[in-house]
Amino acid sequence: MELKRVVVTGLGAITPLGNNVNDTWEALINGVSGAGPITQFDASLFKTQFACEVKGFEPLDYFEKKEVRKYDRYAQLAIAAAKEAITDSKLDLENVDKNRIGVIFSAGIGGIKTFEQELCGYDQEKGPKFNPFFIPKMIGDIAAGHISIMYGFHGPNYGAISACASSTNGIIDAFNLIRLGKANVIVAGGAEAAISVGGVGGFTAMHALSNRNDSPTTASRPFSASRDGFVMGEGSCGLVLEEMEHALARGAKIYAEVVGGGMSADAYHLTATHPEGLGAILVMKNALEDAELNPEDIDYINVHGTSTPVGDISEAKAIKQVFGDHAYDLNISSTKSMTGHLLGAAGALEAMVCIKAVETDTVPPTINHEEGDNDPEIDYNLNFTFNKAQKRVVNVALSNTFGFGGHNASVIVKKFVK
């Protein structure tokens, strides 16, 4: 069976840096941090009091007033990003075969705000009284459901859940379904909105978050010796993946081609990556094999790079192991230094970053690295694209995402050539 080729024809994003793709990309290449004090709840008693929040998002710009109460914030962000991506794709929604269009929109956590609100409102003396939308608002697959209902898309429909690798797994699933001929188009992406009492409190209890309350904008500092944890982010990103001939037949703009995806497990620890990066090594090798590419073909890696003490070291080691001498010719960057960690939505956003890097031949930076702030366990001969975007030819880019539970996923995109 000859596999079909898969291209990207639409992009959408709601992020801590902007409420569309263009604003987000401009902020990224200009090294802007999206971090600031938490505004969504009173965090004054919390050890971590800042995050990368989406700013200026108004649900009524996207939904009728009576609809808003049906959606958790994570689903609102998902639908908004999907709308931008679908509009950007210029699909003819009146004449396209909707039985051949699917939605795979993922989350690592889902509707935690709804969960907290409903349980905090429970009165044991008066008995249970829950909102009928409680469960449909909370579950992690519901964003995909809403998008399919909104557009009448009858193809494959679900959300992948693999912690911070969720939306990358969803993109890989979409890629495989299309190249196997199971769908013509899939709207793939991820959304997360876990900046809440439980979300921040839970990650703080794990000692996963940065405590740099005196300087939130410099707190996310991947690959620097002074890094002390990740900065929580929220947001959504959507991609329209399309079978190449289907896209060409309608004259679609093609941003890039998806050429491979890899998955692996660390099988090591619930929350920590393997110290030697064994799972990361395997997932990148699997992605390269799937794409039928050599390590030397990769120009840019958007790393998982969360700014945690162990994770950054193991990923840098893994890159050296997989790419050998070519590792020193790569550009590497962690855009989490600017967006924070969007958890289940991180993979979709960082795949979009790779697509834009391929489109524009521009690598966004890893910000917040100060001269001399070097970890002896990290090889600084690697080009981490510190502090300033770099222009270079980016023919092929790889995005890494690693999730709690040892879930690893990598996806590869390249310049489209018919």
325: left (phi over 0), alpha (psi -120 to 50) or beta: alpha
* Alpha-carbon gap, residue 177 to 187, rounded angstroms: 12
Give the whole-angstrom CA distance, residue 370 versus residue 69.
45
Of 146, 246, 274, 304, the catalytic one is 304
Residue 175, Cβ density class (10 Å: 0-12 exposed, 13-18 middle, ≥19 buried): buried
3-class DSSP state for residue 210?
Answer: coil
Which among 149, 213, 159 has a CA at the least distance from the CA of 191? 159
Options 52, 164, 237, 354, the catalytic residue: 164
DSSP reduced 3-state for 28: helix
CA distance 147 to 74: 13
d(CA 258, CA 413): 4
Q: Alpha-carbon distance 221 to 366, whole Å?
A: 8
Angle (nearest 5°) at CA 356 between 352 and 362: 135
341 catalytic, yes or no?
A: yes
Active site residue 274: no
Residue with the two structure tokens 């990224």: 28
Residue-wise burial string across 85-123, b where 16 or more C-beta atoms lie within 10 A, e elsewhere: bbebbebeeeebebebbbbbbbbbbbbbbbbbbbeeeee
Q: With beta carbons less than 8 A apart as the criterion, state whether 315 and 305 touch.
A: yes
Per the annotation, the verdict on 237 as an active-site residue is no
The active-site residue out of 146, 274, 341, 407 is 341
Angle between helices 73-89 and 142-151 (to 10 degrees): 40
DSSP-based three-state secondary structure for 13: strand
Based on the number of CB atoms within 10 Å of its own CB, is 140 exposed (0-12), middle (13-18) or buried (19 or more)? buried
To which H or E segment does residue 186 belong? strand 185-192
Active site residues: 164, 304, 341
